[in-house]
Amino acid sequence: MKSSTGKYYIGLDHIRAVAIFMVFSWHFMHQEISFTYTPSFFPLSLINEGHTGVSLFMALSGYLFAKLLDGKKIKYASFLWNRFLRLAPLLFFVVTVIGVHQYSIGVPFELYCLEILKGLILPTLPNGGWSIAIEFHFYLLLPFLLYIARKSNYSLGFAICFAILLRLFLYEEVGQIQRFAYYTIIGRIDQFLFGMIAYQMRGYIMGRHILVIGGFIAFSIFFWNFDQAGGFHNNPSYPSNRLVWVVMPTFEGLTYALLIAWYDNSFTHSTGRVSRFIALIGTYSYSIYLLHFFFYKVLILIMIRYIMPVSNFYIALCYSVLGFLFMVPIGYLSFRLIESPFLKLRTNYIIKNDAERVLEVRSCNHLDSSDG
Protein backbone atom coordinates (compact mmCIF):
# COMPACT_ATOMS: atom_id res chain seq x y z
CA MET A 1 0.00 0.00 0.00
CA LYS A 2 1.27 3.46 -0.91
CA SER A 3 1.93 5.89 1.89
CA SER A 4 0.62 9.43 1.71
CA THR A 5 4.09 10.44 0.45
CA GLY A 6 3.48 8.35 -2.67
CA LYS A 7 6.17 5.78 -1.78
CA TYR A 8 5.49 2.05 -2.08
CA TYR A 9 7.76 -0.78 -0.96
CA ILE A 10 6.46 -4.18 -2.02
CA GLY A 11 8.97 -6.01 0.19
CA LEU A 12 7.56 -4.40 3.31
CA ASP A 13 4.07 -5.57 2.35
CA HIS A 14 5.51 -9.10 2.14
CA ILE A 15 6.64 -8.70 5.75
CA ARG A 16 3.20 -7.43 6.76
CA ALA A 17 1.69 -10.58 5.24
CA VAL A 18 3.99 -12.80 7.31
CA ALA A 19 3.21 -10.85 10.48
CA ILE A 20 -0.57 -11.06 10.06
CA PHE A 21 -0.38 -14.80 9.35
CA MET A 22 1.56 -15.30 12.58
CA VAL A 23 -1.00 -13.34 14.61
CA PHE A 24 -3.96 -15.03 12.92
CA SER A 25 -2.46 -18.48 13.57
CA TRP A 26 -1.87 -17.63 17.23
CA HIS A 27 -5.57 -16.93 17.78
CA PHE A 28 -6.81 -19.59 15.39
CA MET A 29 -4.79 -22.47 16.82
CA HIS A 30 -5.01 -21.78 20.52
CA GLN A 31 -8.42 -20.35 21.39
CA GLU A 32 -10.71 -23.25 20.49
CA ILE A 33 -8.25 -26.14 20.14
CA SER A 34 -7.09 -28.07 23.19
CA PHE A 35 -3.65 -29.42 22.33
CA THR A 36 -0.26 -28.86 23.96
CA TYR A 37 2.48 -29.57 21.49
CA THR A 38 5.74 -27.88 20.57
CA PRO A 39 6.68 -28.45 16.91
CA SER A 40 9.85 -30.48 16.41
CA PHE A 41 11.01 -28.15 13.61
CA PHE A 42 12.10 -25.27 15.84
CA PRO A 43 11.33 -22.25 13.55
CA LEU A 44 7.65 -23.27 13.61
CA SER A 45 7.49 -22.22 17.25
CA LEU A 46 7.25 -18.67 15.87
CA ILE A 47 3.88 -19.76 14.44
CA ASN A 48 2.85 -21.77 17.49
CA GLU A 49 3.67 -18.67 19.58
CA GLY A 50 2.37 -16.36 16.86
CA HIS A 51 1.71 -13.50 19.27
CA THR A 52 5.26 -12.53 18.34
CA GLY A 53 3.85 -11.34 15.00
CA VAL A 54 2.74 -8.18 16.82
CA SER A 55 6.42 -7.51 17.56
CA LEU A 56 7.19 -7.86 13.87
CA PHE A 57 4.50 -5.26 13.09
CA MET A 58 5.98 -2.87 15.67
CA ALA A 59 9.53 -3.21 14.36
CA LEU A 60 8.22 -2.69 10.84
CA SER A 61 6.48 0.54 11.89
CA GLY A 62 9.69 1.90 13.38
CA TYR A 63 11.66 0.97 10.27
CA LEU A 64 9.07 2.32 7.83
CA PHE A 65 8.70 5.72 9.44
CA ALA A 66 12.46 6.09 9.78
CA LYS A 67 12.65 5.35 6.06
CA LEU A 68 9.85 7.69 5.04
CA LEU A 69 11.00 10.58 7.24
CA ASP A 70 14.77 10.23 6.92
CA GLY A 71 16.26 13.73 6.89
CA LYS A 72 12.87 15.34 6.33
CA LYS A 73 10.84 17.90 8.23
CA ILE A 74 7.17 17.15 8.76
CA LYS A 75 3.97 18.97 9.55
CA TYR A 76 3.20 17.03 12.69
CA ALA A 77 -0.53 17.86 12.81
CA SER A 78 -0.91 16.63 9.22
CA PHE A 79 1.09 13.51 10.07
CA LEU A 80 -1.24 12.68 12.98
CA TRP A 81 -4.27 13.42 10.82
CA ASN A 82 -3.05 10.98 8.18
CA ARG A 83 -2.43 8.29 10.78
CA PHE A 84 -5.91 8.92 12.18
CA LEU A 85 -7.41 8.44 8.71
CA ARG A 86 -5.38 5.26 8.31
CA LEU A 87 -6.33 3.59 11.58
CA ALA A 88 -9.48 5.12 13.05
CA PRO A 89 -12.27 4.32 10.52
CA LEU A 90 -11.93 0.53 10.70
CA LEU A 91 -11.30 0.61 14.44
CA PHE A 92 -14.42 2.73 14.89
CA PHE A 93 -16.40 0.23 12.79
CA VAL A 94 -15.19 -2.69 14.93
CA VAL A 95 -15.83 -0.85 18.20
CA THR A 96 -19.35 0.03 17.02
CA VAL A 97 -20.21 -3.53 15.98
CA ILE A 98 -18.99 -4.91 19.30
CA GLY A 99 -20.76 -2.10 21.18
CA VAL A 100 -24.11 -2.98 19.57
CA HIS A 101 -23.61 -6.62 20.54
CA GLN A 102 -22.62 -5.71 24.10
CA TYR A 103 -25.69 -3.50 24.46
CA SER A 104 -27.94 -6.28 23.11
CA ILE A 105 -26.76 -8.66 25.83
CA GLY A 106 -27.31 -6.12 28.60
CA VAL A 107 -23.92 -4.43 29.03
CA PRO A 108 -24.57 -0.78 30.02
CA PHE A 109 -23.68 1.61 27.21
CA GLU A 110 -21.84 3.96 29.59
CA LEU A 111 -19.66 1.12 30.89
CA TYR A 112 -18.69 0.09 27.36
CA CYS A 113 -17.87 3.68 26.39
CA LEU A 114 -15.70 4.00 29.49
CA GLU A 115 -13.73 0.90 28.48
CA ILE A 116 -13.19 2.36 25.01
CA LEU A 117 -11.97 5.68 26.44
CA LYS A 118 -9.62 3.84 28.78
CA GLY A 119 -8.30 2.06 25.69
CA LEU A 120 -6.56 5.26 24.60
CA ILE A 121 -4.04 4.54 27.37
CA LEU A 122 -4.70 1.05 28.73
CA PRO A 123 -4.96 -2.22 26.74
CA THR A 124 -8.78 -2.39 26.81
CA LEU A 125 -9.71 -1.87 23.14
CA PRO A 126 -11.37 -5.00 21.69
CA ASN A 127 -10.24 -7.23 18.80
CA GLY A 128 -6.58 -6.51 19.30
CA GLY A 129 -7.21 -2.77 19.30
CA TRP A 130 -4.79 -2.42 22.22
CA SER A 131 -1.92 -2.66 19.72
CA ILE A 132 -3.39 0.26 17.74
CA ALA A 133 -3.25 2.33 20.93
CA ILE A 134 0.43 1.43 21.29
CA GLU A 135 1.02 2.52 17.67
CA PHE A 136 -0.58 5.86 18.56
CA HIS A 137 1.70 6.20 21.58
CA PHE A 138 4.65 5.66 19.24
CA TYR A 139 3.37 8.41 16.93
CA LEU A 140 3.24 10.78 19.90
CA LEU A 141 6.88 9.98 20.68
CA LEU A 142 8.06 9.99 17.06
CA PRO A 143 9.08 13.68 16.73
CA PHE A 144 11.22 13.38 19.86
CA LEU A 145 12.74 10.09 18.68
CA LEU A 146 13.58 11.56 15.28
CA TYR A 147 15.13 14.59 16.99
CA ILE A 148 17.42 12.62 19.28
CA ALA A 149 18.31 10.21 16.45
CA ARG A 150 19.60 13.16 14.42
CA LYS A 151 21.57 14.50 17.37
CA SER A 152 23.42 11.26 18.10
CA ASN A 153 23.82 7.86 16.46
CA TYR A 154 23.71 6.25 19.89
CA SER A 155 20.65 7.97 21.36
CA LEU A 156 18.13 5.32 20.30
CA GLY A 157 20.35 2.61 21.76
CA PHE A 158 20.48 4.48 25.06
CA ALA A 159 16.66 4.72 24.96
CA ILE A 160 16.46 0.92 24.63
CA CYS A 161 18.78 0.50 27.62
CA PHE A 162 16.58 2.86 29.63
CA ALA A 163 13.46 0.84 28.68
CA ILE A 164 15.12 -2.40 29.81
CA LEU A 165 16.09 -0.84 33.16
CA LEU A 166 12.54 0.49 33.58
CA ARG A 167 11.08 -2.99 33.00
CA LEU A 168 13.59 -4.47 35.42
CA PHE A 169 12.55 -1.92 38.05
CA LEU A 170 8.86 -2.70 37.49
CA TYR A 171 9.60 -6.42 37.67
CA GLU A 172 11.22 -5.97 41.08
CA GLU A 173 8.34 -3.79 42.28
CA VAL A 174 5.37 -5.78 40.90
CA GLY A 175 6.77 -9.33 40.70
CA GLN A 176 5.92 -9.79 37.01
CA ILE A 177 6.44 -7.77 33.85
CA GLN A 178 4.67 -9.79 31.14
CA ARG A 179 1.62 -7.51 30.89
CA PHE A 180 3.73 -4.35 30.72
CA ALA A 181 6.11 -5.93 28.21
CA TYR A 182 3.42 -7.26 25.92
CA TYR A 183 0.48 -4.85 26.16
CA THR A 184 2.09 -1.42 26.63
CA ILE A 185 4.60 0.93 25.06
CA ILE A 186 6.89 0.19 28.04
CA GLY A 187 7.74 -3.11 26.35
CA ARG A 188 6.98 -2.33 22.73
CA ILE A 189 9.21 0.75 22.52
CA ASP A 190 12.24 -1.55 22.01
CA GLN A 191 10.75 -2.87 18.79
CA PHE A 192 9.97 0.55 17.34
CA LEU A 193 13.45 1.77 18.26
CA PHE A 194 15.24 -1.24 16.81
CA GLY A 195 13.25 -0.73 13.60
CA MET A 196 14.54 2.84 13.42
CA ILE A 197 18.11 1.76 14.22
CA ALA A 198 17.97 -0.95 11.55
CA TYR A 199 17.12 1.68 8.96
CA GLN A 200 20.07 3.79 10.13
CA MET A 201 22.33 0.74 9.77
CA ARG A 202 20.80 -0.57 6.54
CA GLY A 203 24.08 -0.14 4.67
CA TYR A 204 25.84 -2.45 7.12
CA ILE A 205 23.00 -5.00 7.22
CA MET A 206 22.53 -5.17 3.44
CA GLY A 207 23.94 -8.41 2.05
CA ARG A 208 24.99 -9.76 5.47
CA HIS A 209 23.23 -13.06 4.85
CA ILE A 210 25.21 -15.16 7.33
CA LEU A 211 24.80 -12.60 10.12
CA VAL A 212 21.04 -12.23 9.67
CA ILE A 213 20.25 -15.91 9.04
CA GLY A 214 22.46 -16.92 11.98
CA GLY A 215 20.68 -14.41 14.19
CA PHE A 216 17.30 -15.70 13.06
CA ILE A 217 18.29 -19.32 13.79
CA ALA A 218 19.51 -18.35 17.27
CA PHE A 219 16.29 -16.43 17.93
CA SER A 220 14.18 -19.36 16.65
CA ILE A 221 15.97 -21.74 19.02
CA PHE A 222 15.40 -19.30 21.88
CA PHE A 223 11.70 -19.11 21.02
CA TRP A 224 11.48 -22.91 20.66
CA ASN A 225 12.80 -23.26 24.23
CA PHE A 226 10.38 -20.56 25.36
CA ASP A 227 7.57 -22.53 23.67
CA GLN A 228 8.65 -25.76 25.38
CA ALA A 229 8.76 -24.00 28.76
CA GLY A 230 5.06 -23.13 28.45
CA GLY A 231 5.05 -20.20 26.08
CA PHE A 232 2.84 -17.17 26.55
CA HIS A 233 0.22 -18.68 28.86
CA ASN A 234 1.94 -21.45 30.84
CA ASN A 235 5.39 -20.23 31.77
CA PRO A 236 4.52 -21.21 34.50
CA SER A 237 1.20 -19.31 34.48
CA TYR A 238 -0.29 -16.07 33.20
CA PRO A 239 0.95 -13.46 33.89
CA SER A 240 4.38 -15.03 34.02
CA ASN A 241 6.81 -14.19 36.80
CA ARG A 242 9.78 -15.13 34.60
CA LEU A 243 12.57 -12.60 34.17
CA VAL A 244 12.67 -13.42 30.44
CA TRP A 245 9.86 -10.92 29.83
CA VAL A 246 12.20 -8.07 30.76
CA VAL A 247 14.26 -8.77 27.62
CA MET A 248 11.71 -10.55 25.42
CA PRO A 249 10.70 -7.31 23.59
CA THR A 250 14.41 -6.55 23.08
CA PHE A 251 15.21 -9.94 21.53
CA GLU A 252 12.15 -9.73 19.29
CA GLY A 253 12.84 -6.16 18.22
CA LEU A 254 16.51 -6.81 17.42
CA THR A 255 15.82 -9.95 15.39
CA TYR A 256 12.87 -8.62 13.43
CA ALA A 257 14.53 -5.28 12.73
CA LEU A 258 17.57 -7.07 11.29
CA LEU A 259 15.32 -9.24 9.12
CA ILE A 260 13.33 -6.25 7.87
CA ALA A 261 16.37 -4.17 6.91
CA TRP A 262 18.05 -7.21 5.33
CA TYR A 263 15.02 -8.20 3.28
CA ASP A 264 14.27 -4.63 2.22
CA ASN A 265 17.79 -3.79 1.07
CA SER A 266 19.45 -7.05 0.01
CA PHE A 267 17.05 -8.15 -2.73
CA THR A 268 15.25 -6.91 -5.81
CA HIS A 269 11.67 -7.90 -5.09
CA SER A 270 9.67 -9.50 -7.84
CA THR A 271 6.45 -7.98 -9.11
CA GLY A 272 5.16 -11.30 -10.42
CA ARG A 273 1.83 -12.84 -9.50
CA VAL A 274 2.94 -14.65 -6.34
CA SER A 275 4.81 -11.60 -5.05
CA ARG A 276 1.86 -9.31 -5.77
CA PHE A 277 -0.58 -11.71 -4.10
CA ILE A 278 1.54 -11.85 -0.93
CA ALA A 279 1.88 -8.06 -1.02
CA LEU A 280 -1.90 -7.68 -1.31
CA ILE A 281 -2.29 -9.76 1.85
CA GLY A 282 0.06 -7.26 3.47
CA THR A 283 -2.10 -4.43 2.15
CA TYR A 284 -5.19 -6.00 3.70
CA SER A 285 -3.37 -6.98 6.91
CA TYR A 286 -4.97 -4.27 9.07
CA SER A 287 -8.46 -5.38 8.07
CA ILE A 288 -7.59 -9.05 8.59
CA TYR A 289 -6.09 -8.20 11.97
CA LEU A 290 -9.15 -6.42 13.38
CA LEU A 291 -11.83 -8.55 11.70
CA HIS A 292 -10.53 -12.10 12.11
CA PHE A 293 -11.79 -12.12 15.71
CA PHE A 294 -15.33 -12.23 14.31
CA PHE A 295 -14.66 -15.34 12.22
CA TYR A 296 -11.91 -17.61 13.49
CA LYS A 297 -13.93 -19.49 16.14
CA VAL A 298 -16.66 -20.42 13.64
CA LEU A 299 -14.08 -21.42 11.04
CA ILE A 300 -12.15 -23.76 13.32
CA LEU A 301 -15.31 -25.39 14.69
CA ILE A 302 -16.54 -26.05 11.13
CA MET A 303 -13.23 -27.64 10.20
CA ILE A 304 -13.17 -29.82 13.31
CA ARG A 305 -16.73 -30.97 12.72
CA TYR A 306 -16.62 -31.62 8.98
CA ILE A 307 -12.99 -32.54 8.32
CA MET A 308 -11.22 -34.04 11.33
CA PRO A 309 -10.41 -33.27 14.98
CA VAL A 310 -7.17 -31.51 15.80
CA SER A 311 -4.67 -33.67 17.64
CA ASN A 312 -1.36 -31.93 16.95
CA PHE A 313 0.28 -28.73 15.78
CA TYR A 314 0.60 -29.73 12.14
CA ILE A 315 -3.12 -30.35 11.63
CA ALA A 316 -3.82 -27.06 13.39
CA LEU A 317 -1.34 -25.31 11.10
CA CYS A 318 -3.06 -26.69 7.97
CA TYR A 319 -6.41 -25.51 9.28
CA SER A 320 -4.89 -22.13 10.06
CA VAL A 321 -3.70 -21.74 6.45
CA LEU A 322 -7.21 -22.54 5.18
CA GLY A 323 -8.81 -20.12 7.62
CA PHE A 324 -6.31 -17.42 6.72
CA LEU A 325 -7.06 -17.78 3.00
CA PHE A 326 -10.76 -17.41 3.84
CA MET A 327 -9.97 -14.09 5.53
CA VAL A 328 -8.17 -12.63 2.50
CA PRO A 329 -11.32 -11.73 0.51
CA ILE A 330 -12.91 -10.37 3.69
CA GLY A 331 -9.83 -8.23 4.17
CA TYR A 332 -10.13 -7.07 0.56
CA LEU A 333 -13.77 -6.02 0.99
CA SER A 334 -12.99 -4.22 4.23
CA PHE A 335 -10.04 -2.42 2.69
CA ARG A 336 -12.09 -1.27 -0.31
CA LEU A 337 -15.27 -0.34 1.51
CA ILE A 338 -14.02 0.95 4.87
CA GLU A 339 -10.34 1.87 4.65
CA SER A 340 -9.83 3.17 1.09
CA PRO A 341 -12.44 5.98 1.09
CA PHE A 342 -10.71 7.63 4.03
CA LEU A 343 -7.21 7.09 2.65
CA LYS A 344 -8.11 9.40 -0.23
CA LEU A 345 -8.47 12.24 2.30
CA ARG A 346 -4.83 12.09 3.39
CA THR A 347 -2.56 15.04 2.74
CA ASN A 348 1.18 15.35 2.25
CA TYR A 349 2.87 16.06 5.58
CA ILE A 350 6.45 16.34 4.28
CA ILE A 351 7.90 19.87 4.23
CA LYS A 352 9.97 20.17 1.06
CA ASN A 353 13.35 21.84 1.25
CA ASP A 354 14.53 24.52 -1.20
CA ALA A 355 16.36 22.04 -3.46
CA GLU A 356 13.26 19.84 -3.79
CA ARG A 357 11.13 22.89 -4.61
CA VAL A 358 13.57 23.95 -7.36
CA LEU A 359 13.56 20.45 -8.85
CA GLU A 360 9.76 20.38 -8.74
CA VAL A 361 9.53 23.76 -10.52
CA ARG A 362 12.03 22.67 -13.17
CA SER A 363 10.08 19.45 -13.70
CA CYS A 364 6.82 21.38 -14.11
CA ASN A 365 8.50 23.82 -16.52
CA HIS A 366 9.85 20.92 -18.54
CA LEU A 367 6.41 19.32 -18.72
CA ASP A 368 4.87 22.64 -19.76
CA SER A 369 7.37 23.07 -22.60
CA SER A 370 6.86 19.46 -23.67
CA ASP A 371 3.12 19.97 -23.85
CA GLY A 372 3.93 22.92 -26.16
In three-state form (DSSP H/G/I as H, E/B as E, the rest C), the secondary structure along the chain is CCCCCCCCCHHHHHHHHHHHHHHHHHHHHHCCCCCCCCCCCHHHHHHHCHHHHHHHHHHHHHHHHHHHCCCCEECHHHHHHHHHHHHHHHHHHHHHHHHHHHHHCCCCHHHHHHHHHHCCCCCCCCCCHHHHHHHHHHHHHHHHHHHHHHHCCCHHHHHHHHHHHHHHHHHHHHCCCHHHHHHCHHHHHHHHHHHHHHHHCHHHHCCCHHHHHHHHHHHHHHHHHHHHCCCCCCCCCCCCCCCHHHHHHHHHHHHHHHHHHHHHHHCCCCCCHHHHHHHHHHHCHHHHHHHHHHCHHHHHHHHHHHCCCCCCHHHHHHHHHHHHHHHHHHHHHHHHHHHHHHHCCCCCCEECCHHHHHHHHHHHHHHHHHHC
| pLDDT value for 2 | 59
Evaluate if residue 190 carries a pLDDT over 60. yes
pLDDT at 34: 64
Mean pLDDT of 65-70: 93
The pLDDT value given to residue 32: 66
**pLDDT of residue 354 exceeding 90:** no
Condensed to tens digits (0 to 9), the pLDDT of residues 5-48 reads 567 889 999 999 999 999 999 999 887 666 667 898 999 999 99
Mean pLDDT of 124-131: 96
Is 286 a domain residue? yes
Least confident residue range of 3-7, 27-31, 225-229, 257-261: 3-7
Q: What pLDDT sits at residue 309? A: 85
Asked if the structure places residue 109 within a domain, the reply is: yes
* This prediction's pTM: 0.92
- Cβ neighbours of residue 259 closer than 8 Å, sequence gap 6 or more: 15, 212, 216
Residue 155 lies in a domain: yes
Q: Which residue has the higher pLDDT, 2 or 161?
A: 161
> Is 334 a residue whose pLDDT tops 80?
yes
Position 352 in a domain = no
Mean pLDDT, the chain, as a whole number?
91
Percent of the chain with pLDDT over 90: 81
Percent of the chain with pLDDT over 70: 92
Residue 351 — φ and ψ, nearest 5°?
-90, 115
Is 355 a domain residue? Answer: no
Whether residue 134 lies inside any domain: the answer is yes
The pLDDT confidence band at residue 352, using thresholds 50, 70 and 90, is confident
pLDDT at 71: 85
Query: Does the structure show a pLDDT above 50 at 372?
Result: no
In a domain, residue 3? The reply is no
pLDDT band (50, 70, 90) for residue 131: very high
Confidence of residue 205 (pLDDT cuts 50, 70, 90): very high
- Where in the sequence is the domain holding 139, given as residue range(s)? 10-347
Number of domains in the chain: 1
Does 353 map to a domain?
A: no
Q: What is the mean pLDDT of residues 220-247?
A: 94
